Structure 1
Amino acid sequence: MIGVCIPIFTTSVPALKPDGDLFVVIKAFACGVILATGYMHVMPDSFADLTSPCLPQHPWHKFPFTTFIAMISAIFTLMVDSFSLSYFKKKLPMSSSVNNLETTKELELGHVHGHGLAIANGHEKNVNAEQLLRYRVVAQVLELGIVVHSVVIGLSMGASENPCTIKPLIAALCFHQLFEGMGLGGCILQADYGVKMKVIMVFFFSVTTPFGIALGIGLSEVYSDTSPTALIVEGVLNAISAGLLNYMALVDLLANEFMGTKLQSRIKLQLLCYIAVFLGAGGMSVMAIWA
């Protein structure tokens, strides 16, 4: 909860506003953490589950289900991303489009005068509205991916009875939940949601892992992490989550940020952000030794 709330409640600090350099660097670090979570934690867990000796040789050992499911998940995430954006774009007011058409006609006739400024403002509002829609779609899809793998992690932790396994897992979990939360919090802030929606999204992010832990503890008597059913369910969910997180980190977060005007026009800031990404991804990758 602390991680996801930091970006939301520090908007009064000038350096931590969404358009501030420090915020961009911290978000890049968080994106590195999310990327490494998908590649270094979630996907290997899925490989381990779906290639376990406890599963029958056919079909689980004859086909790379983890990478196949992750690939399908990434494509499906792209579809959701694209269709959602198209759907909401159609609901945007058409006045800006009409204004743009009028601008073109007037430019051809050479009669722009003072009306051009009003039309330009209308176009800018339309661009801002489209960008806001983009931020909202990204925030919702990212939360979905984080929620899925948080429940799986919590379930495994709650069902585990080995202290040697639980202690390092808690340390890694705290680290990645903190910075994953900061990445999500940054997306929620940029999406400019109302208070109610912010509370709902923060609540779901905060309770999913504890819910998974409670579920794991409750099912510890009947749940076995070596049973074929448990391995398949966890493996498939982890693969889905890995594909979603990897797509979101690379396409919607990193590529969107680094190809934007702010970083493209400032090489030093761009370099700082790349260093932050490497530090975030590297730190989370090191955590894979213990978790």
Structure 2
Amino acid sequence: MLKIIAILILLFPTTVFGDCTCESEDTKHNKEAALKYKLGSIASILVAGAVGVSLPLLGKKIPTLRPEHDIFFMIKAFAAGVILATGFIHILPDAFDNLTSPCLKENPWGNFPFTGFVAMLSAIGTLMVLELGILVHSVISGISLSASQSPETIKPLMVALSFHQFFEGMGLGGCISQGKFKFRPAANMATFFSLTAPVGIAIGSGISTGIFNAAAAEILIYMALVDLLAADFMNPRMQSNMRIQSGAYISLLLGSGCMSLLAKSA
């Protein structure tokens, strides 16, 4: 099943790219500006992942930096709101536009809702793989960012992926810390994780946006709801503390609201 999903996701973008020949599509996008943001996103996401992995290790000596500190519940809720709005408001509408474009042939693209289909497969695939899913959705989201030719899409996705890498890095760093690995294997794991999304950005150069936008949108939505919000809001510590709970709800609304407002300005 996973092999079929991977083949569909990898092969469909090539088909879309080959079919889309409308010149009007190219004139909408400032490729030069998009390239500038792509290069900036590599640095931003790389640093965010590296810092996230390092914090739990530093938390052994600096208690304030420990991931279980109260303030991190609020920060993670804000990040989840940003990621959720990025998936729903910024990325998914672009995927619908890409895959219903008049540039594409009516058969098969006009005869089936491929955007929803790919999003559904992405959610199922992420659910079927928990630890591997971290790497897979990092790479696919990076590919989606690189495949986009619109600065208006790249900017919010860069913010969401930076948050994503930061908090996924914190989770991985916590596991490394608890596992008491020696320096070299710990450093190798941290480095490998930090490079996943930037590698995805490199892989995605020149690939069409539609399929990967649909996949990345659903992965971001899944990650925000399941990996960040569900894990924290089901935490007994949050459920027994109304102050933390209220702060997390406010942070969630602020994060999603701010990122939604960016869609209006874009």
Q: Could you state the TM-score of these two structures normalised by the residue count of structure 1?
A: 0.63
Deviation, 1:283, is: 2.1
The reply on whether 1:180 has 2:229 as its aligned counterpart is no
Unaligned 5+ runs, structure 1:
82-136, 158-164, 217-229
The reply on whether 1:8 has 2:53 as its aligned counterpart is yes
1:1-291 to structure 2, matched below 5 A, reads 1-10=46-55, 11-12=58-59, 13-81=62-130, 137=131, 140-157=132-149, 166=151, 168=152, 171-192=155-176, 194-209=186-201, 211=202, 215-216=205-206, 231=208, 234-289=209-264
Deviation, 1:258, is: 0.5
Deviation, 1:170, is: 5.8
Alpha-carbon distance between aligned partners in 2 of 1:38 and 1:169, rounded to the nearest angstrom:
10
Alpha-carbon distance between aligned partners in 2 of 1:141 and 1:242, rounded to the nearest angstrom:
15
Q: Give the conservation status (yes or no) of the 8 Å contact 1:28–1:273.
A: yes
Alpha-carbon distance between aligned partners in 1 of 2:88 and 2:170, rounded to the nearest angstrom:
22
**How has the CA–CA distance of structure 1 residues 79 and 176 changed in structure 2, closer, same or farther, with 3 Å as cutoff?**
closer
Q: Give the conservation status (yes or no) of the 8 Å contact 1:33–1:180.
A: no
Higher relative contact order (CA 8 A, sep 6+): 1
Per-residue CA distance 1:3-56 (angstroms, 9 max, x = gap): 223333343442221111112221222222222222222211211111001112
In structure 2, what residue type is equivalent to 1:9?
Answer: S
Alpha-carbon distance between aligned partners in 1 of 2:154 and 2:200, rounded to the nearest angstrom:
15
Aligned residues: 209
Alpha-carbon distance between aligned partners in 2 of 1:174 and 1:55, rounded to the nearest angstrom:
27
Alpha-carbon distance between aligned partners in 2 of 1:258 and 1:8, rounded to the nearest angstrom:
22
Sequence identity (%): 38
Which residue number corresponds to residue 123 of structure 1? none
Q: Give the conservation status (yes or no) of the 8 Å contact 2:99–2:114.
A: yes
SS in 2 for 1:53: coil
Q: Give the conservation status (yes or no) of the 8 Å contact 1:152–1:212.
A: no
Q: Give the conservation status (yes or no) of the 8 Å contact 1:4–1:178.
A: yes
Deviation, 1:173, is: 4.8
Q: Give the conservation status (yes or no) of the 8 Å contact 2:90–2:153.
A: no
Give the RMSD, CA atoms, in angstroms: 2.5
In terms of Rg, which structure is larger? 1
Deviation, 1:174, is: 4.5
Unaligned 5+ runs, structure 2:
1-45, 178-185
Deviation, 1:207, is: 4.2
Deviation, 1:290, is: 5.2
Alpha-carbon distance between aligned partners in 1 of 2:91 and 2:244, rounded to the nearest angstrom:
30
Q: Give the conservation status (yes or no) of the 8 Å contact 2:143–2:212.
A: no
Per-residue CA distance 1:149-197 (angstroms, 9 max, x = gap): 222222334xxxxxxx54x556445533432332222222233362211
Q: Could you state the TM-score of these two structures normalised by the residue count of structure 2?
A: 0.68
